[in-house]
Amino acid sequence: MPAAAVVPILTYPDVREAVAWLSAAFGFAERIRIGENHRAQMRCGDGALIVADVAKDRRPPRPGEVTHAVMVRVDDVRAHCEKARAHGARILLEPVDFEFGERQYQAEDLAGHHWTFSETLDDVAPETWGGEPVI
């Protein structure tokens, strides 16, 4: 298993196509291949992702339906966005600097999964933008 504490499992119609696309567009790296088109474990920074095949009740998102989004930290949001765009990602939100100290963009991948990529610009106290520390 990947060492990450949380590992999303996303379903794609074609695992090999998804692995190639996620590598080219988002810069992920395949770690383990499980069967030719069954599953793959991928690294994304210090996190992980499992790409799963369509089987039993597993299906990718349906058009117009958003059931989840995955957030990934990157070093340079603007460059990452341009690379993703060049590989066919549908950009849902262009890079934006937010008051909570993050620059983010949102994209949809080849199977309709939604992604937010985030770059930390500054460590901003939550109280200044409407957040409330709980711990």
Instruction: Check: pTM over 0.75? Answer yes or no.
Output: yes
- CATH fold of 9-128, please? 2,3-Dihydroxybiphenyl 1,2-Dioxygenase; domain 1 (3.10.180)
Q: Chain centroid to CA 92: how far?
A: 13
Report the pLDDT value the prediction gives residue 101, as an integer from 0 to 100.
96
Report the pLDDT value the prediction gives residue 40, as an integer from 0 to 100.
96
Where in the chain are the domains? 9-128
Report the pLDDT value the prediction gives residue 81, as an integer from 0 to 100.
98
Which of 15, 25, 85, 20 minimizes the C-alpha distance to 53? 15
Mean pLDDT for back-to-back runs of 10 residues, the chain (135 residues): 88 96 97 93 94 90 88 97 98 97 97 96 94 90
Q: Report how far residue 92's alpha carbon sits from residue 55's, in angstroms, rounded to the nearest whole number.
A: 28
Report the pLDDT value the prediction gives residue 60, as an integer from 0 to 100.
87
| Phi and psi angles of residue 68, each rounded to the nearest 5 degrees, phi first | -170, 165
Report the pLDDT value the prediction gives residue 67, as an integer from 0 to 100.
85
Report the pLDDT value the prediction gives residue 25, as an integer from 0 to 100.
97
CB 101 within 8 A of CB 118: no
Look at phi and psi of residue 35 and say left if phi exceeds 0, alpha if psi is from -120 to 50, else beta: left
Report the pLDDT value the prediction gives residue 56, as an integer from 0 to 100.
85
CA 42 → CA 11, 15, 35, 111, distances in Å? 13, 11, 14, 16
Residue with tokens 């299906």: 59
The full length of the chain comes to 135
| DSSP-H helix ranges across the chain | 15-26, 77-86
Report the pLDDT value the prediction gives residue 21, as an integer from 0 to 100.
98
